[in-house]
Amino acid sequence: MKSIFLAATLALAALSSAAQQKIIPAQSSIRFVTTQMNVPVEGAFHRFDATVSFDPKHPEATKAEFEVELGSIDLGTDEGDHEAKGKAWLNVAAFPKARFVASSVKSLGGDRYEASGALAIKGATQNVVAPFTLKEANGVRVVEGQFAVKRLQYKIGEGAWAATDTVADEVLVRFKFALPAK
Amino acid sequence: MTPAPTRYTPTAIALHWIVAALIIFNLCFGLYTVGLPLSPTKLRYFSFHKWIGVTILGLASARLLWRAFHPVPALPASMKPWELKAAHVSHALLYVLFFAAPLTGWLFSSAAGFQTVYLGLIPIPDLLHKNKEVAEVLRITHHWVDYALAAVIVVHAAAALKHHFIDRDDVLVRMLPRPKPKSP
């Protein structure tokens, strides 16, 4: 009797874990491009996590949550990283994580999809629409896309940095997430 | 064979003084900007510094081209052999550093991930991929090349003043713009 119960519990656990997928960090990336004095400058966040339940046949049933550790920002220089974590920019001490919760995903035909949902950074929340492509190979699904964020809507870059002639308002976010296909 | 000229041409004189002004300004400006705390002003100044550097690279190339097609005035016969040698070496060094300073800056900028876009309009290709370690080596190289350039400029200017005030020859004057002849 006890063993049947255990088997049932394990089966149930297996079922629910099949529906939820964790990203494969080594094959995933979150990069962004800011424009400084008309010059595109690339950066990245190295630590992030996501819980995704996504079935390409039923995109509308998608559940996805992404969390980015803002302290893992990499702008290529220590001076830049330090500044970006500071109060005027991301204020990592007070707001350590950015969070995106997909509220709907729809198919755009072929391997193209569009996710929309709430993106919360530095205490502000804005709706974001992110088109992406989905490619599957060797048991790995790769979701890749980009969307633009207006940094000033999140008060990223306050005070003197709010001027957009040195650092433009629009920041392009490029994401790539690898997920196990099954 | 045409005899060696006694003066530099107006083109050579103009290029000499424009490049001199830009280099001296950019050396001081770069040193000042490095010391600023990170701010929009600092980003702006670094862009200006790079634009001036690109301008210097272009004008220094023009000067080298000018030299390739024009004989330079001969040095005074009164100069001792070691003085002639020092004059040639320091001029060669100046030209090497005219190119080394902007080129190391350009490479540093590339490796740091900040492309140079001349006047904010013309993107100059990145010569290197973004790499923090390489960028640090190039930052230090650019720094020392600039100090070397400043040192040779000081020697160059001191030598020109010595020629003028101590040797009382025409070495400085022939690189100065000639005053307009008074109309009779």
As for the ipTM of the complex, it is 0.72
Please determine, for residue B1, whether its predicted confidence score (pLDDT) is greater than 70: no
Q: What is the pLDDT of residue A21?
A: 84
Number of Cα atoms under 13 Å in the Cβ half of residue A148: 7
Sole residue written with tokens 């005219």: B98
Q: Is the pTM of this model over 0.80?
A: yes
Residues of chain A neighbouring B38 (CB-CB closer than 8 A): 79-80, 83
CA distance A169 to A173: 13
Please check whether residue B124 touches A, CB under 8 A.
no
Q: What is the pLDDT of residue A102?
A: 94
Q: What is the pLDDT of residue A3?
A: 62
How far A80 CA lies from chain B's nearest CA (Å)?
8
Q: Check B113 against A42: CB less than 8 A apart.
A: yes
Number of Cα atoms under 13 Å in the Cβ half of residue A140: 13
Chain A contacts in chain B segment 17-46 (CB below 8 A): 38-41, 43-44
Q: H helices of A43-120, where? A: 78-85
How far A158 CA lies from chain B's nearest CA (Å)?
11
> Which whole number is the average pLDDT over B128-140?
92
Q: What is the pLDDT of residue B5?
A: 85
**A75: nearest CA partner in chain B:** B113
Q: H helices of B127-166, where? A: 132-165
Q: Check A37 against B120: CB less than 8 A apart.
A: yes
Written as six digits, the tokens of A43 are 């950066």
Out of A76, A161, A166, closest to residue B113 by CB: A76
Q: What is the pLDDT of residue A17?
A: 41
User: How many CB pairs lie under 8 A apart between chains A and B?
Assistant: 47
**B136: nearest CA partner in chain A:** A77
Out of A42, A76, A163, closest to residue B40 by CB: A163
Q: What is the pLDDT of residue A54?
A: 87
Q: Which of B19, B12, B18, B15 is nearest to B69 (CA)?
A: B12
Please check whether residue B134 touches A, CB under 8 A.
no
Out of B40, B112, B116, closest to residue A77 by CB: B112
Residues in chain A with pLDDT < 70? 1-19, 182
CA distance A9 to B135: 55
User: What confidence category does residue B184 fall into, taking pLDDT thresholds of 50, 70 and 90?
Assistant: low
Average pLDDT along chain B: 92
pLDDT tens for each residue of B5-29: 889 999 999 999 999 999 999 999 9
Edge-to-edge strand list for the sheet holding A39-45: A21-22, A48-53, A63-69, A97-109, A112-121, A124-137, A140-150, A170-180, A29-36, A39-45, A73-74
Q: Which of B55, B56, B77 is nearest to B153 (CA)?
A: B56
pLDDT tens for each residue of B93-127: 999 999 999 999 999 999 988 889 999 889 999 98
Q: What is the pLDDT of residue A9?
A: 54
How far A24 CA lies from chain B's nearest CA (Å)?
25
CA distance A75 to A36: 12
Q: What is the pLDDT of residue B3?
A: 66
Q: Check A161 against B115: CB less than 8 A apart.
A: no
> Which whole number is the average pLDDT over B155-169?
95
Share of chain B above pLDDT 90, in %: 80
Q: Are B116 and B109 within 8 A, CB to CB? A: yes
Q: What is the SS3 assignment for A175? A: strand
CA distance A148 to A158: 19
